[in-house]
Structure formats: structure tokens, C-alpha cells
């Protein structure tokens, strides 16, 4: 379990955010990640943000994977 996708926070109105993935805009509740800011990436599941994406960690993993890609 389960289906969750990383989306970008475009705007915040109270506890609700407008989020975007690939040009698609949807709303998401920030009840579970209340310190979210505009511009953050959050993980969207069933209409809720369930965690903030750690861009530094993501960058690290991507860098590692790119290194591997060069070896191929």
C-alpha cells in the first residue's frame, strides 16, 4: 500500500493547498503536514499531504542514480 505522488504546492488557503503535478491542479488537505509552505513538494495520498519531500535527500539519491547511469 499505497498510491502516493510527489506534487508541488502552488498556493495555501488555511489548511487546504492547491497542488500541481505535470500541469494538473488539485486540492489537498495539509492537516497532516501543517508546516507546509508554498513551493514545497509534498506526497499526496487520497486527497491529503502525508509528508513533505526532503529535496536534499531526493537530490542525493538522484545524484547517486545518475552516477550509476554513467556506469551503464
Partner 1 sequence: MPEARIILGHGSGGKLSHELIESLFLPLFLNPILQTGDDSAVFPLRDSGKFPGGQRADEQRIAFTTDSYVVKPLFWPGGDIGKLAVCGTVNDLAMVGATPLYLSAAFVIGEGLPISTLRRIVTSMKRAAREAGVKIVTGDTKVVEKGSADGLFINTAGVGLLAGGVNISGSNARPGDMVIISGTVGDHGIAVLSAREGLTFRNNFKSDVAPLNHLVAAMLKTSHKIHVLRDPTRGGLATTLNEIARQSGVGIRIIEEKIPVREEVVAVCEILGYDPLHVANEGKVVACVAPEDAEKLIAVMRGSPYGSEATIIGEVLAEPKTRVMLKTRVGGTRIIDMLAGEMLPRIC
Partner 2 sequence: MRFIDEFRNAAAGQSLVSRIQKKKTPAVNLMEVCGTHTVAIFKHGIRQLLPETVNLISGPGCPVCVTPNADIDKAIALAQNAGIILVTFGDMIKVPGSYSSLNQVKAAGADIRVVYSVLDALRMAEDNPRKSVVFFGVGFETTAPTTASAILEAERRGIDNFFLLSVHKVMPPAMKLLIDADEVHIDGFICPGHVSTIIGSVPYEFIPRQYGIPCVITGFEPLDILQGIDMLLEQVAGGAPRVSIQYRRVVRPEGNPVALKYLATVFEVADARWRGIGNIPGSGLKLGQKYRRFDAEHAFNIVTRPAREAKGCRCGDVLRGVCLPAECHLFGKTCTPEHPTGPCMVSTEGTCSAWYLYREKE
How far, in Å, are 3, 38, 45, 47 from residue 35 at the CA level? 23, 10, 17, 17
| Residue whose C-alpha cell is 487546504 | 16
Question: Could you say which of 13, 14, 22, 71 contacts partner 1 (CB under 8 A)?
Answer: 22
Q: Which does 12 bind (CB under 5 to 8 A by kind): partner 2, partner 1, none?
A: none
* 24 binds partner 1 per the rule CB under 8 A: yes
Cβ(38)–Cβ(10) below 8 Å: yes
Q: Which does 38 bind (CB under 5 to 8 A by kind): partner 1, partner 2, none?
A: none
Helix, strand, or coil here: 38? coil
Point out which residues bind partner 1 (CB under 8 A): 1-3, 5, 7, 20-26, 44-46
Amino acid at each position: 500500500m499505497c498510491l502516493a505522488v510527489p506534487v508541488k504546492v502552488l498556493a495555501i488557503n488555511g489548511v487546504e493547498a492547491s497542488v500541481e503535478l505535470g500541469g494538473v491542479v488539485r486540492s489537498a488537505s495539509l492537516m497532516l503536514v501543517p508546516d507546509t509552505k508554498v513551493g514545497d513538494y509534498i506526497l499526496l495520498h487520497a486527497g491529503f499531504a502525508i509528508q513533505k519531500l526532503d529535496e536534499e535527500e531526493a537530490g542525493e539519491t538522484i545524484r547517486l542514480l545518475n552516477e550509476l547511469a554513467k556506469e551503464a
